[in-house]
């Protein structure tokens, strides 16, 4: 059979001993061993009080208690007069959250948490403080990057959420064009421009504005697009054996390439096998070559804009076959 009972009015933080005695209708009885239990302390403990995620006008609060309680967080600019209450987000248990909004930028606030449990016990934290940040809108990290002959990207950050415009042009006194925004409205921003003129210096300036109407602008900066002239450099044959060689070269722009080669300088009638191509660093190889033979070769490259270039005719000699 199952039995239960309870005792109330016990002393907090006290060890009690108990024993169960049972008797049936026939007069038979039994008793348990002497066992013990300890009541909890009646001290209500408040810990981990902190303000965090603070910006110019907002902060969050967090604290914990050793048992379920309800809370109030008082705050204000005078530590002797905490005349405002934070908005409770999570309360009634042991983990508690609140927030305060509409704060003044660049201001020191004081706060204190007061908690009460179901038995009427209460506790309060020390008077603590936090600082709101300045609402000054600042702009940093402005850069143009990944610039090609006709394209560039821009990147910048702001001290808080803002909307942006990137003005640019070839005259530093007349920014007559706007970049296309790719990411904006937060604190990290980027944009891009296409259809630029190759080999041209452009000037640009970023202007940002936040929800409060505060604005900021960067210095006038510049970038230069790459020339659309396709050049080939660093052409070489290497790792040459009796029947095999590798080729390597670099182009000034992204390009597709062909390596022509043969034993007659005037008739390069074979093509090397491409290994890496389409960018600016290229390599290829040729196998099945004749040992101890001089070969001539030439690289021909074509850029994305249809412009082509070719290297000088160069030569390499395969190793003699070892007997």
Q: What is the CATH number of the domain that holds 70?
A: 2.60.40.10
Domain final residue, candidates 131, 161, 186: 131
Residue that finishes a domain, picked among 203, 224, 245: 224
Q: Check residue 195 and give its pLDDT.
A: 94
Task: Assess whether 164 and 214 both reside in one domain.
Answer: yes
What is the C-alpha to C-alpha distance for residues 264 and 259, in angstroms, rounded to an integer? 15
Does some domain include residue 102?
yes
Q: Does residue 23 sit within a domain?
A: no
Q: Tell me, yes or no, whether 22 lies in a domain.
A: no
Euclidean distance between CA atoms 156 and 184, whole angstroms: 10
Same domain, 249 and 310: yes
pTM over 0.85: no
* Final residue of a structural domain among 224, 259, 292: 224
Work out the number of other CB atoms within 10 angstroms of the CB of residue 88: 16
Residue 38 domain flag: no
Are 63 and 107 in contact, with CB atoms under 8 Å apart? no
Alpha carbon 103 to its chain's center:
28
Over the chain (323 residues), what is each successive 10-residue block's mean pLDDT?
Answer: 88 89 87 89 90 90 96 97 97 97 94 93 95 87 91 94 96 96 96 93 96 89 88 96 97 93 97 95 97 98 87 97 72
> Are residue 207 and residue 254 in the same domain, yes or no?
no
User: Does any domain span residue 322?
Assistant: no
What is the model's pLDDT at position 323?
60
Q: Is 108 exposed, middle or buried (0-12, 13-18, 19+ CB in 10 A)?
A: exposed
In a domain, 13, yes or no: no
Q: How far apart are CA 229 and CA 226, in angstroms?
A: 9
Instruction: Kindly state whether residue 180 falls inside one of the protein's structural domains.
Output: yes
Boundaries of domain holding 60? 46-131
**Number of independent structural domains in the chain:** 3
Domain shared by 116 and 161, yes or no = no
Residue 270: inside a domain: yes
Looking at the fold, whether 212 and 237 belong to one and the same domain comes out as no
59 and 90 in a single domain? The answer is yes
What is the 8-class DSSP label of residue 166? E
């Amino acid at each position: 059979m199952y039995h239960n009972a309870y005792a109330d009015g016990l002393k907090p933080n006290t060890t009690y001993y108990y024993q169960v005695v049972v008797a049936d209708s026939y007069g038979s009885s039994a008793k348990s061993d002497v066992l013990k239990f300890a009541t909890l302390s009646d001290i209500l403990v408040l810990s981990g009080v902190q303000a965090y995620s603070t910006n110019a006008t907002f902060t969050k609060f967090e604290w914990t208690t050793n048992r379920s309680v309800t809370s109030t967080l008082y705050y204000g600019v005078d530590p002797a007069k905490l005349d405002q209450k934070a908005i409770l987000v999570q309360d009634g248990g042991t983990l508690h959250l609140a927030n305060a909004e509409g704060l003044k930028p660049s201001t020191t606030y004081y706060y204190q948490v007061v908690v009460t449990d179901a038995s009427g016990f209460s506790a309060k934290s020390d008077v603590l403080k936090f600082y709101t940040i300045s609402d000054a809108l600042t702009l940093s990290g402005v850069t143009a990057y990944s610039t090609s002959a006709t394209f560039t990207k821009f990147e910048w950050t702001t001290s808080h959420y803002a909307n942006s415009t990137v003005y640019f042009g070839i005259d530093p006194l007349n920014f007559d064009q706007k970049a296309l925004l790719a990411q904006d409205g937060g604190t990290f921003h980027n944009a891009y421009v296409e259809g630029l003129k190759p080999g041209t210096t452009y000037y640009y300036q970023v202007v940002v504005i936040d929800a409060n109407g505060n604005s900021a602008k960067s210095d006038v900066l510049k970038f230069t697009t790459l020339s659309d002239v396709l050049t080939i450099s660093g052409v070489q044959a290497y790792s040459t054996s009796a029947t095999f060689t590798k080729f390597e070269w670099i182009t000034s722009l992204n390009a597709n390439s062909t390596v022509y080669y043969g034993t007659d300088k005037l008739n390069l009638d074979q093509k090397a096998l491409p290994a890496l191509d389409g960018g600016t660093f290229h390599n290829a190889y040729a196998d099945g070559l004749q040992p101890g033979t001089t070969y001539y070769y030439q690289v021909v490259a074509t850029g994305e804009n249809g412009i082509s270039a070719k290297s000088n005719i160069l030569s390499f000699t395969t190793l003699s076959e070892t007997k």
